Amino acid sequence: MRLVPFGSLTDEDFAAWQAIRASDSRWDSPYFTHEYMAAVHAGRPIDVLIGDGFLWPLHKTGSSARPAGSPGADFQGPIVEPGVRFSPKAVLAAVGVRSLSFDHLVDGYRDLEPWVEERRVSPFMDVTGGLDGYLNRVDKSGRGKMSEARRLTNKANRELGEVRSTVQANDGLDQVVALKREQYASTGAQDHFADQANRDLVRRLMGSDLGLLSTVYAGPHLLAAHFGIRDGGVLHWWFPVFERKFGSYSPGWVLLREVVTAAPELGITRIDLGRGEDEYKRRAMTGSSTVCIGAITSGLGTPARRLRRAAVGAAKSSPIAPQLRAIARKLR
């Protein structure tokens, strides 16, 4: 195995990258494209571990490493040809680190199984055939929400002004970021866009073939918007936002319905919703994949890390967790 700076990759390396991706549908997410990695690398250096039928883009910091794009990449892992095996310990040695952690590792790597500490559901929507095809696959709850979205669209049209959607908008990204930051603040979640590098990344992606910005307005009012990335038939639902004052119109569902309706025109057959079991994801999903949390390490064993993660999870689920996060933010 050899570790190569992303900027030093050759045309042959990129051709091999594309060939390996094409060999297995597990790598069809836009997060596994070299175009996404190029956008990330422009703001934060990436090194790529390359072997026979194997490559893994990584961020290396001191004695540790993480998959490239972390913490924003919702699918992670080495891109490998079918049947290729590798040694996790050899990976650490080749990268020159003591640990390599992951939090959205695609499930199914036999060689990484001993290092997986936890698994999470990552829902998706099969939108083949657009809205009609989707409604034939989604369960009763999802069909009900889509029907409600149609009714509320008509209501917004009467009460707020003509409803119009743009599934491939050219501007509005700054407003999406601002609304997302408001959402983070109101829920106590960590502000992903507090880091200038993350704001710059979505702007670079917006200017690439991967970025997809969608909006829905009622008269002069922005109801909801979404910025995601897409490649081929896959759209990753990444940063959805809506104006809270128009929450009674279920603007997020209104926008999602518009995107599903436009899916055939866009060439999209699947919308990945990302890890988590939010209510809208449970209702909208037609299926799910699995992503893993863990770390390859030469030190602390996986059982001990599992215990530590369980303790952290218990603290986060505590009724006073929001107050603790608020106090922590004030002390920073």
DSSP string, 188-244: T---GGGSHHHHHHHHHHHTSSSEEEEEEEETTEEEEEEEEEEETTEEEEEEEEE-G
Of 77, 13, 76, 84, nearest in space to 52 by CA: 84
What does the alpha-carbon distance between residue 192 and residue 263 come to, in Å, rounded to a whole number?
A: 28
Q: Is residue 279 part of a domain?
A: no
Six token digits for residue 72 = 């924003």
Q: Is residue 282 part of a domain?
A: no
Whether residues 147 and 247 fall in one domain: yes
User: What pLDDT is recorded for position 318?
Assistant: 53
Hunting for tokens 């690439």 — which residue is that? 208
Whether residues 43 and 166 fall in one domain: no
Hunting for tokens 């997060």 — which residue is that? 31
Whether residues 210 and 237 fall in one domain: yes
Domain count, the chain: 2
Residue pLDDT tens, the chain, 332 long: 999 999 999 999 999 999 999 999 999 999 999 999 999 999 999 999 999 999 999 999 999 999 999 989 999 999 999 999 999 999 999 999 999 999 999 999 999 999 999 999 999 999 999 999 999 999 999 999 999 999 999 999 999 999 999 999 999 999 999 999 999 999 999 999 999 999 999 999 999 999 999 999 999 999 999 999 999 999 999 999 999 999 999 999 999 999 999 999 999 999 999 999 899 999 999 999 999 999 999 865 554 555 554 444 545 555 565 565 555 444 44
Q: Is residue 325 part of a domain?
A: no
Whether residues 176 and 262 fall in one domain: yes
Strands 163-166 and 211-218: antiparallel
Whether residues 17 and 113 fall in one domain: yes
Whether residues 139 and 170 fall in one domain: yes
Q: Is residue 308 part of a domain?
A: yes
What does the alpha-carbon distance between residue 192 and residue 274 come to, in Å, rounded to a whole number?
A: 15
User: What pLDDT is recorded for position 298?
Assistant: 86
Residue 267 Cα distances to 164, 204, 281, angstroms: 21, 22, 22
Distance between alpha carbon 290 and the CA centroid of its chain, in Å?
13
> Is-contact 221 161, C-beta < 8 A?
yes
Q: Is residue 286 part of a domain?
A: no
Domain of residue 34 covers 2-121+291-317
Instruction: Judge if the upstream peptide bond of residue 71 is cis by omega within 30 degrees of 0.
Output: yes
pLDDT tens column, 23-77: 999 999 999 999 999 999 999 999 999 999 999 999 999 999 999 999 899 999 9
What does the alpha-carbon distance between residue 169 and residue 187 come to, in Å, rounded to a whole number?
A: 27
Q: Is residue 284 part of a domain?
A: no
Hunting for tokens 């490559």 — which residue is that? 55
* CATH code for position 303: 3.40.630
Q: What is the DSSP letter of 258?
A: H
* CATH code for position 187: 3.40.630.30
> Is-contact 56 28, C-beta < 8 A?
no
Whether residues 84 and 160 fall in one domain: no
Q: Is residue 278 part of a domain?
A: no
Whether residues 96 and 55 fall in one domain: yes
What does the alpha-carbon distance between residue 84 and residue 80 come to, in Å, rounded to a whole number?
A: 6
Residue 155 Cα distances to 218, 250, 277, angstroms: 10, 11, 29
Residue 287 Cα distances to 52, 80, 137, 220, 225, angstroms: 33, 24, 9, 36, 24
Whether residues 196 and 137 fall in one domain: yes
Of 224, 118, 231, 210, nearest in space to 180 by CA: 224
Whether residues 29 and 147 fall in one domain: no
Six token digits for residue 38 = 């190029």
Whether residues 114 and 153 fall in one domain: no
Of 106, 105, 112, 75, nearest in space to 90 by CA: 112
Write b or e for each residue in 282-294: b if 16 or more Cβ atoms lie within 10 A of its Cβ, otherwise e: bbbbbebbebbbb
Six token digits for residue 273 = 């919703």
User: What pLDDT is recorded for position 65?
Assistant: 98
> Is-contact 14 34, C-beta < 8 A?
yes
Q: Is residue 285 part of a domain?
A: no
CB atoms within 10 A of CB 160: 16
User: What pLDDT is recorded for position 326?
Assistant: 55
Whether residues 142 and 248 fall in one domain: yes
